[in-house]
Amino acid sequence: MGNIIGALTSIGIAIGPPLIYADQAWSIIKKQDSTGFSRDVCAIILIANIARCVFWLGNRFELALLFQSIFLCLSMLVLLFILLKYRKSDVDTEESSRRPFHFWDWTSFGQYVEFLAGLIVILCVLYLIFGGHETFIDILGFIALGIESQLPTPQAFSNFRRRSCYGLRISTLAGWLGGDIFKTCYFFFKKSPKQFIICGLITISIDLVIVAQMSIYGTPRPESAIEGDDESSFSEERQGLTDLTPDRERERDLEREGADGVEEGRR
């Protein structure tokens, strides 16, 4: 019985976190608007879990946690593609312009993939050079799990800046908090490397900050998103009025000439 429970727990650890974002992705597709969900969340998860996979090469922790990292990377690539597809281009442009090289605010999905591929190559080369040193493995583990512990931080800053939790699903937040508590308890019982336990506790504390924001700010639509929609509608209307084909222009001129002829006949 104990083995069955342990196996189910490991399966939950491996596939649970990626499934948290399924509802978030469906909500974005349904609204056709990714406003409110920070793309930096995808950056943190992807970078941290790629580093965690390399960390596993030097410190063979549970396979369930390794598969969790792999599934999270795959799910984040899908979510990132959806975020870019339904991105409002006029939202947060001022903030993104201040980023060096427009980091993680690129226009095409391929640019993100190229960055991640380069990161994988760099980490693998470093592991081949320093993988035999325990200090390097420990530092890599703290970097990987330290980055992952900051997962909710971009969302917390985004909520604070907009004074709204618009775009963040309650199911996603509940999944964050519940999943992080469950994972941290799992780390304790499985006696996982200390990096997992420390960073798990940090993540839970940031989750609680977002829970407080949700209760204080609620989920009203931020003004920036409303203005973006208004500008988009105005642009479409203006384009509809000005973008006339030559055939349509000729038809309009003939109609005017016909109307002028009728008016002259009446006179």
Per residue in 13-46, pLDDT (tens digit) is 888 888 888 888 998 999 888 887 888 889 999 9
Residues 137 and 46 in one domain: yes
Q: Is the pLDDT of residue 75 over 70?
A: yes
Residues 112 and 243 in one domain: no
Residues 71 and 192 in one domain: yes
pTM of the model: 0.71
Per residue in 205-248, pLDDT (tens digit) is 999 999 999 999 988 887 655 544 443 433 333 344 344 445 55
The predicted structure's pLDDT at residue 154: 86
Residues 162 and 242 in one domain: no
Residues 43 and 149 in one domain: yes
Residues 111 and 95 in one domain: yes
Residues 205 and 232 in one domain: no
Structural domains of the chain, count: 2
Residues 215 and 129 in one domain: yes
Residues 216 and 231 in one domain: no
C-alpha dihedral over 227, 233, 235, 236, to 10 degrees?
Answer: 160
Residue 140, domain extent = 2-221
For the chain, give the percent of residues with pLDDT over 70: 79
pLDDT-derived band of residue 133, with 50, 70 and 90 as boundaries? very high
Residues 41 and 126 in one domain: yes
